[in-house]
Amino acid sequence: MSDVLALTFGESILVVIVLAVYAAVIWMILDILRRPDLSGVEKVLWSIFGLVFSIATLIVYVVWVRKKDYSR
C-alpha cells in the first residue's frame, strides 16, 4: 500500500519543478490582471496563453512584458 505513494528521487524533482512552474504561472496571471497598461482583451489573451502554453508564455512574459516600467 505504501508503494503507491513512493516516489523516486527523479520523480520528486520533477514534481517540484512542475509545481514551481504552475506557481510561477499563477503569479504571472495575477500580475497580468493587476497591470494598468494592458487592456481587458490583452489580459484575457495573456491569461489564456499562460494556461495553455505555460512555460513558453511565462518566458515571453518575463523577458518582454514584465521589463516594461508601468509604475509611472
Query: How many other C-beta atoms lie within 10 A of the C-beta of residue 42?
Result: 13
User: pLDDT tier at 54 (50, 70, 90 boundaries)?
Assistant: confident
Q: What is the model's pLDDT at position 19?
A: 93
Residue 40 grid coordinates: 481587458
Instruction: Give 19-44 pLDDT, tens digit per residue.
Output: 999 899 999 999 989 988 888 999 99
pLDDT at 62 over 80: yes
Q: So where are the chain's domains?
A: 2-65
**Average pLDDT of span 51-70:** 82
Answer with the residue of higher pLDDT: 7 or 2.
7
